[in-house]
Amino acid sequence: MSENRSDLPAKHPAGAHEDLHAKHPAGAHEDLTVEKVIIIGSGPAGYTAALYTSRADLEPLVFEGFQWGGLLQQTTDVENYPGYRDGVMGPEMMQELRDQAERFGTRFVTDDVTRVELSQDGSPHKVYVGDSEHLTRSVILAMGAEPKKLGVPGEDELAARGVSYCATCDAAFFRDKPTIVVGGGDTAMEDATFLAKFAKDVKVVHRRPEFRASAIMLERARATENIELLAPFTIDRFEKGDNGALARVVLTDTGDGEDRTIDIDGAFIAIGHRPNSEIVEGQVDTDEDGYVLVEGRSTRTNRVGVFAAGDLVDRTYRQAVTAAGSGCAAALDAEAYLRDKPVDAEAHWEPDLEKLEAAAERAASS
Ligand SMILES: Cc1cc2nc3c(=O)[nH]c(=O)nc-3n(C[C@H](O)[C@H](O)[C@H](O)COP(=O)(O)OP(=O)(O)OC[C@H]3O[C@@H](n4cnc5c(N)ncnc54)[C@H](O)[C@@H]3O)c2cc1C
């Protein structure tokens, strides 16, 4: 379950090397060490990439962001990450992932990367925190995607106390309870259909008269006995009960302006995600919503030596374990790239082993 970010753990965990970037002001290129791999982001994808690259002796430098630990820092119970039979609290799990990566020598900077200059030809990429510059042979992008919020009263306060942004994660906590899903697209219909297996009933609330979900998803929701579609309504506010948890939602009918109050225990916000891809915009290929595009099942972006993992590339699964899995894949892709590097830029894209080997030989003899 999600919880208010004011409860986040200390911003600067033990072991954070916050002074790393201060040593390298922009413009002093000659003095800069060229890192083998820089990882940007510190959710399950970033920390798993750090674990694998540090165990491969690549001495990763992780820019973990000011809000280190990613989305699971906003969560209480995580019951679906393998290996935790009795579940685990989100922040505890992220501290464990971080500690495990640190054990093998990962270095951390607990700050946000403000800008990158990704090279096109295999020369070092540049990563900036403010004015301080870092050079690196490879980059793993793992900045995640933020769920969009409604921005209504009660939403933040009741996050993790009934308001959720992840039906796959939290639906099972609402067995036989009245719930709503907010949204009108495929994700909202999918969330509602999944939630309906557990909840007493699910009202899908949408602000426009027409749902924009695909016909098949809409039909599936309509055919489910305990799902009701409510439109056009906006969410005015969420209200808590005596126990401090979500108890009611107040809706406004956008037709006649009348308010309608519904008793609920759970509200699932399904109005989309915003990938944190601003810093690479215009440099790596993204889709129309800003998700970073990778080649096939690999984590390779269109820039040589630049890899992407986790929710930043994933509009479908968005789970901690899938993010961790792709963080592992990015680390292995980066390792393979560095092993064959320096090679010509085309070799990055070249699945042909012979050509790869030839490129590596060329590089070794140059
Ligand atoms: C409320 C909630 C509850 C959830 N519960 C579960 C659950 O129970 N089980 C489950 O499997 N999944 C759950 N999820 C989904 C899960 O949290 C995500 O799928 C997962 O965290 C994605 O991992 P990630 O590494 O891709 O990105 P994130 O976890 O989003 O991490 C990205 C990190 O990158 C950092 N970052 C962003 N930009 C920069 C920058 N410029 N410089 C440096 N750092 C940057 C951010 O600060 C953040 O720390 C939940 C999600 C939410 C919102």
> Which positions are catalytic?
166, 169-170
For the chain, what is the mean pLDDT? 89
* pLDDT digit string, tens, across residues 133-173: 999 999 999 999 999 999 999 999 999 899 999 999 999 99
* pLDDT digit string, tens, across residues 60-77: 999 999 999 999 998 888
pTM: 0.84
Question: Is the Cβ atom of 111 under 6 angstroms away from ligand 1?
Answer: no
Query: Two tokens at 1?
Result: 């379950």
- Which residue lies with its CA nearest to atom 30 of ligand 1? 144
Domain spanning 163-269: CATH superfamily: FAD/NAD(P)-binding domain (3.50.50.60)
* pLDDT digit string, tens, across residues 328-338: 999 999 999 99
Domain ranges within the chain, ordered by starting residue: 9-146+273-354, 163-269
Mutational pocket test of ligand 1: of 12, 20, 71, the residue with most ligand atoms within 8 Å of the beta carbon: 71
Q: Does CATH place domain 9-146+273-354 in 3.30.2130.10?
A: no
Is residue 84 within 8 Å of residue 29, measured between CB atoms? Answer: no
CA of 266 to the centre of ligand 1 (A): 21
Distances (CA, A) of 77 to 80, 122, 169, 172, 334: 9, 43, 9, 11, 33
Measured in residues, the chain has a length of 366
CA of 64 to the centre of ligand 1 (A): 11
| Distant-in-sequence, close-in-space partners of 283: CB < 8 Å, separation ≥ 6 | 116, 117, 118, 303
Residue 145 CA to residue 135 CA, distance in Å, equals 25
Same topology, domains 9-146+273-354 and 163-269? Answer is yes
Residue 278 CA, closest ligand 1 atom number: 41
* pLDDT digit string, tens, across residues 177-221: 999 999 999 999 999 999 999 999 999 999 999 999 999 999 999
Quickly state the pLDDT bin for 359 (edges 50, 70, 90): low
> Counting beta carbons within 10 angstroms of the beta carbon of residue 340, is it exposed (0 to 12), middle (13 to 18) or buried (19 or more)?
middle
Is residue 342 scored above 70 in pLDDT?
A: no
* pLDDT digit string, tens, across residues 83-132: 999 999 999 999 999 999 999 999 999 999 999 999 998 889 999 999 99
CA of 130 to the centre of ligand 1 (A): 23
- Which residue lies with its CA nearest to atom 48 of ligand 1? 70
Is residue 93 within 8 Å of residue 79, measured between CB atoms? Answer: no
CA of 65 to the centre of ligand 1 (A): 11
Question: Is the Cβ atom of 70 under 6 angstroms away from ligand 1?
Answer: yes
Is residue 163 within 8 Å of residue 269, measured between CB atoms? Answer: yes
Mutational pocket test of ligand 1: of 166, 194, 313, the residue with most ligand atoms within 8 Å of the beta carbon: 166
The alpha carbon of residue 57 and the mean position of all alpha carbons in its chain are separated, in whole angstroms, by 26
